[in-house]
Amino acid sequence: MTHTPDVALALELGPDLELALAMADAADLITMDRFGALDLVVETKPDLTPVTEADKATEVALRTMLAEHRPGDSVLGEEFGTSDGSTARRWIIDPIDGTKNYVRGVPVWATLIALVVDGEVVVGVVSAPALARRWWAASGTGAWGRMLDREPVRLQVSLVRSLNDASLSYSDAVGWSAITATGLESLLNTTWRQRAYGDFWSHILVAEGAVDVAAEPALGPWDIAAIIPIVTEAGGRITAFDGRPALEGGCAVTTNGVLHGSVLNLLRSDR
């Protein structure tokens, strides 16, 4: 098969990205096997969020792969915390981002896999098998997405230059009051279109250029790490609400870059 230069670049995988994609393949098999199962075991964590047997089994499988292929690297996962390593490399895993959707049979959920080296997220993979979609990026190689068995497509953020013309996505209204009194209301009133696509998908849609702004007020590092290089390599920008690095801020706002300053100003206006 003859590939265009862009597609050829997407298929030239470095070893870490190649491993992350193999991990996503393994995760897809586990998560899809239990998706929609009538006997799915669901528990409630101390923070009152759900966790399923699939979350746990997926994270165990990915940790096992890392122990075999990257034994010196540390791992941070949503379900089993941190395991220390001997290198400056850390893998961050969310076995199922969107567990509430997963439990209810809504197909908007994904496995998130990231590699952080010396504090910088250099690899990110987001795999959403129930949507038949996957997205990935590594530093300097662009951001890519694949639908079904089609060729990979290079991602590019939108060129929208005004918030009045922008499409906004978020998850829901929960958690906003703890970080900004009027930020959500300001974004809703200022933007052209508003939808709650939610979780990872809001930010990925920014990377694809389908949405211009996405924001979530309460996130763990596993919720956002894999998304950072995908958005950045697509030409966008992602930070915490106060402009700090998203991985450190406990929240995230994603834009096409052009709109970022305006969005941060809205989020900061009541602080």
With pLDDT > 90 as the criterion, what percentage of the chain qualifies?
73
Evaluate whether 59 touches 27 at the Cβ level (below 8 Å).
no
pTM score, two decimals?
0.92
Q: Could you give phi then psi for residue 138, rounded to 5 degrees?
A: -140, 150
Q: Could you give phi then psi for residue 196, rounded to 5 degrees?
A: -105, 75
Averaged pLDDT for residues 175-187:
86
Averaged pLDDT for residues 124-149:
96
- Residue 214 CB contacts under 8 Å (≥ 6 apart), including other chains: 168, 169, 170, 202, 203, 205, 206, 252, 253, 254, 255
- Residue 68 CB contacts under 8 Å (≥ 6 apart), including other chains: none
CATH fold label, 163-268:
D-Maltodextrin-Binding Protein; domain 2 (3.40.190)
* DSSP string of 242-258, one letter each residue: TSSBHHHHSSEEEE-ST
Residue 43 falls in which region: left (phi positive, over 0), alpha (psi -120 to 50) or beta:
beta
Q: In terms of CATH, what superfamily is 5-154?
A: Fructose-1,6-Bisphosphatase, subunit A, domain 1 (3.30.540.10)
Residue 3 pLDDT > 70: no
What is the structure's pLDDT at 63?
A: 97
Domain ranges in the chain are: 5-154, 163-268
Residue 57 pLDDT > 60: yes
Residue 128 pLDDT > 50: yes
Residue 39 pLDDT > 80: no
What is the structure's pLDDT at 190?
A: 95
What is the structure's pLDDT at 231?
A: 98
In this predicted model, what pLDDT tens digit does every residue of 202-258 receive, in sequence order?
999 999 999 999 999 999 999 999 999 999 999 999 999 999 999 999 999 999 999
Averaged pLDDT for residues 96-122:
94
